[in-house]
Amino acid sequence: MSAGWLSRIDAVEPKVHAFLHVDRSATGSGAGALAGMTVAIKDLIHVEGMPTTAGSKILEGFMPPFSATVVERLRAAGAVLVGKTNLDEFGMGSSCENSAYGPTMNPYDLKRTPGGSSGGSAAAVAAGMCEAALGTDTGGSIRLPAAFCNLVGLRPTYGRVSRWGSVAFASSLDQIGPMARTVDVCERVFHVIAGPDDRDATSARVPPPARTDVGLKGLRIGLPREYFGEGLAPEVERAVRAAATWYEGQGAKLVEVSLPHTNAALATYYLLAPSEASSNLARYDGVRFGRRADGVKGLRDMYERTRSEGFGAEVKRRIMLGTFALSAGYYDAYYVKAQKVRTLVRRDFDAALSKADVLLTPVSPTPAFELGAVKSPMALYLMDVFTIPSALAGLPGLALPGGFTDAGLPIGLQLTGRPFAEGELFSVARSYERAHPWHERTPALESS
Ligand code: GLN
């Protein structure tokens, strides 16, 4: 068993670079809900005995003194925790190119990005190096890489999964969730990690959901008008519309809905997430965690040099944007205004999800792009235009395989549901997967 996953890692990891740390002696247990299942952990989540880098130089050498709640739960369920996966630094990015430890390659096309920020987790599963992985999703970081790598990935309802022991990026948005090749495996991991945790003040007092089967007959599937406009690649649009037509053929009702604040959501996120990040990342001061610059002259010089040497360009950009948005004189105009728009975004979803039971949309406007091809930060931010709004609203979102482009790149579908409706999302996804086993098309890594 264990020899299997290790030899797979030895064979394909040099091509993919999904891992920042592999625990070659990892074992699981023979009993438990996930007995013997190999699971990789995004390196933003603490696993005792393995370093946490968050993809940043600033945490180089940091060993967490404890494991995250989700990790304890996986261990207790018998999972084999194979290692820590690559990511955009502190989760800030959509391509894994913002990792201080070099990018991860998409197993379906090694010249392309696996998506981000949980790109290492996605690539590890897609390349067959483990059965499942944990990612984190602040504005799309589970769903985007799942879509780019032909996987099922769930962003749970805000509060559904404990974040105790994960490195904070934007605390009002961050969620941990599972990624796997199939709906079934993704759901099994979700059941193990979900549920209340006294150590996370934002953890919802809601028991983990039972597995449900919702029929497709009469199910109202909402198609938000704003998600099918300019910028959406024709092949992605075709796949989403084909899925909608398939559901309709199974007896579901398609309803057009509107999410009018979709465009404002992106700007809102890029005020709120950097604001929260600027506050959360203040703790990396060279004193308490990780690395400190050498040969410093005094305290101020130590802070300045540690932080300028330790953080990458995108993280610095976010810290500066966030600090600006929170500063006296600008706070009302930016941060408070963004909070108000967030309420409008949430209301859009309340209205749409009263007309529809679930929403069906693309995950991203395009399939995986070539590494190095998208240079402007704004163009990268736009990759999350369909995943950020529901994150602001705190809703669960599931990415699932929806087919391939002519060039052989995976296309993702996204289902968005009401709060705590993960069971329904899994059920609706499972029906589609049974009729469309796209997950069986695994990457041809051996020949490349
Ligand atoms: N790509 C988005 C960002 O850079 C979302 C990242 C995430 O969900 N962690 O902030």
pLDDT at 448 over 70: no
pLDDT at 133 over 80: yes
**pLDDT score recorded for residue 2:** 47
Question: What mean pLDDT comes out for the span 310-321?
Answer: 97
Ligand 1 centroid vs 92 CA: distance in angstroms? 5
pLDDT at 271 over 60: yes
Any catalytic annotation for residue 42?
yes
Any catalytic annotation for residue 279?
no
**pLDDT score recorded for residue 29:** 85
**Are 22 and 39 a contacting pair, CB within 8 Å?**
no
Q: Could you say which of 56, 94, 118, 141 is catalytic?
A: 141
Range name among 6-10, 363-367, 375-379 with the lowest pLDDT average: 375-379
Domain ranges in the chain are 1-448
Strand runs (DSSP E) across 322-368, as ranges? Answer: 358-362
Going by pLDDT thresholds of 50, 70 and 90, the confidence category of residue 389 is very high
**Are 272 and 321 a contacting pair, CB within 8 Å?**
no
Rama region for 167: left / alpha / beta (φ>0; ψ in -120 to 50; rest): beta
pLDDT at 1 over 80: no
Any catalytic annotation for residue 117?
yes
Angle between helices 422-435 and 234-249 (to 10 degrees): 100
pLDDT digits over 27-66, tens only?
988 899 999 999 999 999 999 999 999 999 999 999 999 9
Total-model pTM:
0.97
Neighbours of 145 (CB within 10 A): 40
**pLDDT score recorded for residue 446:** 74
Q: Is the CB of 387 under 6 A from ligand 1?
A: no
pLDDT at 70 over 50: yes
Share of the chain above pLDDT 70, in %: 99
d(CA 333, CA 274): 15
Whose tokens are 């059965």? That residue is 131
Q: Is the CB of 53 under 6 A from ligand 1?
A: no
pLDDT at 447 over 90: no
Rg of the chain, C-alpha, whole Å: 21
d(CA 153, CA 134): 9
pLDDT at 132 over 70: yes
Question: What mean pLDDT comes out for the span 170-183?
Answer: 98
Tokens representing 107?
């197993």
Atom of ligand 1 nearest to the CA of 94: 1
Sign of the C-alpha dihedral computed for residues 242, 244, 248 and 249 taken in this order: positive
d(CA 448, CA 433): 28
Ligand 1: residue of 88, 173, 364, 385 to mutate (most ligand atoms within 8 A of CB) is 88
Ligand 1 centroid vs 18 CA: distance in angstroms? 18
Q: Is the CB of 104 under 6 A from ligand 1?
A: no
pLDDT digits over 205-220, tens only?
999 888 999 999 999 9
Question: What mean pLDDT comes out for the span 75-94?
Answer: 98
pLDDT digits over 86-110, tens only?
999 999 999 999 999 999 999 999 9
Q: Is the CB of 89 under 6 A from ligand 1?
A: no
Helix, strand, or coil here: 122?
Answer: helix
Alpha-carbon distances of 420 from 96, 203, 204, 208, 394, rounded to whole Å? 29, 12, 10, 9, 10
**pLDDT score recorded for residue 3:** 62
Q: Is the CB of 384 under 6 A from ligand 1?
A: yes
d(CA 343, CA 362): 23
pLDDT digits over 139-154, tens only?
999 999 999 999 999 9
Ligand 1 centroid vs 300 CA: distance in angstroms? 30
Q: Is the CB of 209 under 6 A from ligand 1?
A: no
Ligand 1 centroid vs 412 CA: distance in angstroms? 17
Ligand 1 centroid vs 140 CA: distance in angstroms? 6
pLDDT at 317 over 80: yes
Query: 1-448 sits in which CATH class?
Result: alpha beta
**pLDDT score recorded for residue 220:** 98
Q: Could you say which of 67, 117, 118, 427 is catalytic?
A: 117
Q: Find the angle CA(442)-CA(443)-CA(448) to the nearest 5 degrees.
A: 155
Q: Is the CB of 140 under 6 A from ligand 1?
A: yes
**Are 188 and 407 a contacting pair, CB within 8 Å?**
no
